[in-house]
Structures are given as C-alpha cells and as structure tokens.
C-alpha cells in the first residue's frame, strides 16, 4: 500500500471511530432516566431593522427610487410596477424592492422598464422584477436579493427583511 493510501485509510478509520463515539454518547444522553434533556442550541436568527423607504403617494409607475437596506452599504431600488406581482406590497400589490448589487460579482444593476428587469452591465445577467428577482439570463448563480416590504395604514413603506444573501456578505445583517 502506498504511503498516501495508508494516510487516507487511517483518516477514514478515525472518522468512523469518532462518528461511532458521538452516536454512542447521544444514545446514552437520551437513555438516562431523571436527567433533564439538554436544550437545543438556538437557531441562527437575523433580526432586520425595519426602515422607512418612502410613502406610496410619492411613487410613480416605472420611476425607480434609489434606496439602501438594511444599511447604507447595501444599495437598492424601490419600484412601483403598475400591476400586482409576486411578493408585491401596498394597496395595489405592485411595490417591490431589490438589492442593486449583482449577485455574480457585485456590479451595480440598472432598471429596464421595457422588459421589467434589473440588468447587469458586467456580464449581462438579468433579473425579473415581476417574478421576485428571478434570474432569467447571465452568469449569476443566484436570484436577486429582494427586500420584503410592509406598508402601514398611512401609506408609509418599510423594508423589513431580505430573502437572499446580498452580494459580498456572509450575513445580510451585520452584528454591531
Ligand atoms: S457582475 Fe453581474 S453578471 Fe457578472
């Protein structure tokens, strides 16, 4: 047996031995009577800051408004599309907001009213604003991050969360 094959083989044995020990430990932990069960570790939870973006009265169809969410380093756009769409908010269900950083390499996207896409000048990815930022062509491998919106009784529009990872980040909300 060559040297590298022996190393792989011993690594494999160590892996399975550790797995068996962990499984045995888990079985013991759940089998002991009178021992309180350990609490599950908390799930990772991102708490998004709600942010007021605009009022519905200030928006016009196909007139994009430049925004930033969840912080000033994350540029985006708020759009009134003029007809109800997937994920659309507001009285007409036509308000959507997206990151304008291309998920491929972070080029700034621009709005194309003719085909209702956010398009990338870098490598020509395009994202459908009427279908929740779905990628319809190009080199990106992720749909566009959409900012979820809430509209209050007075028509104020708030961004409240993000549905995909914003380009260049390991988490959308940074710890302060
Ligand atoms: S940066 Fe947008 S497609 Fe490459």
* Dist. CA 107 → ligand 1 center (Å): 6
The pLDDT assigned to 47 comes to 85
The pLDDT assigned to 62 comes to 94
The pLDDT assigned to 24 comes to 47
- DSSP 8-state assignment for residue 56: G
* Dist. CA 123 → ligand 1 center (Å): 4
* Dist. CA 64 → ligand 1 center (Å): 21
The pLDDT assigned to 30 comes to 53
Query: Left, alpha or beta for 70 (phi > 0: left; psi -120 to 50: alpha)?
Result: alpha
And the tokens for 127? 């994202």
And the tokens for 77? 């756009």
Ligand 1 near 105 CB (within 6 A): yes
Going from N- to C-terminal start, the domains of the chain cover 1-41, 51-162
State which residues of the chain have pLDDT below 70.
1-45, 175-176
* Dist. CA 125 → ligand 1 center (Å): 6
The pLDDT assigned to 29 comes to 46
Q: Tell me the torsion sign for CA atoms 46, 66, 90, 83.
A: negative
Catalytic residues: 104, 123
The pLDDT assigned to 22 comes to 44
Ligand 1 near 125 CB (within 6 A): yes
Give this prediction's pTM.
0.76
Break the chain down into helix, strand, coil percent, rounded to 5. 20, 30, 50
Contacts of 35 (CB under 8 A, 6+ apart): 29
Q: Domain 51-162 belongs to what topology?
A: Rieske Iron-sulfur Protein (2.102.10)
The pLDDT assigned to 122 comes to 97
How far apart are alpha carbons 165 and 159 in whole angstroms? 15
Ligand 1 near 137 CB (within 6 A): no
The pLDDT assigned to 21 comes to 45
Ligand 1 near 102 CB (within 6 A): yes
Ligand 1 near 140 CB (within 6 A): yes
């Amino acid at each position: 047996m060559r040297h590298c094959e022996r190393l792989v083989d011993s690594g494999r044995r160590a892996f399975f031995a550790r797995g068996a020990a962990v499984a045995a430990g888990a079985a013991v932990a759940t089998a002991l009577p009178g021992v309180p069960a350990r609490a599950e570790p908390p799930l990772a939870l991102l708490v998004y800051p709600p942010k007021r973006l605009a009022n519905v009265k200030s928006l016009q169809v196909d007139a994009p408004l430049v925004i930033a969410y969840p912080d000033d380093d994350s540029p985006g756009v708020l759009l009134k599309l003029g007809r109800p769409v997937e994920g659309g908010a507001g009285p007409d269900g036509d308000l959507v907001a997206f990151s304008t950083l291309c998920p491929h390499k972070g080029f700034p996207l621009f709005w194309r009213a003719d085909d209702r896409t956010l398009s990338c000048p870098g490598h020509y990815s395009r994202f459908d604003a009427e279908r929740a930022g779905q990628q319809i062509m190009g080199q990106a491998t992720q749909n566009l991050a959409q900012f979820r919106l809430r509209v209050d009784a007075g028509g104020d529009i708030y961004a409240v969360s993000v549905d995909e990872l914003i380009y260049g980040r390991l988490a959308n909300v940074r710890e302060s």
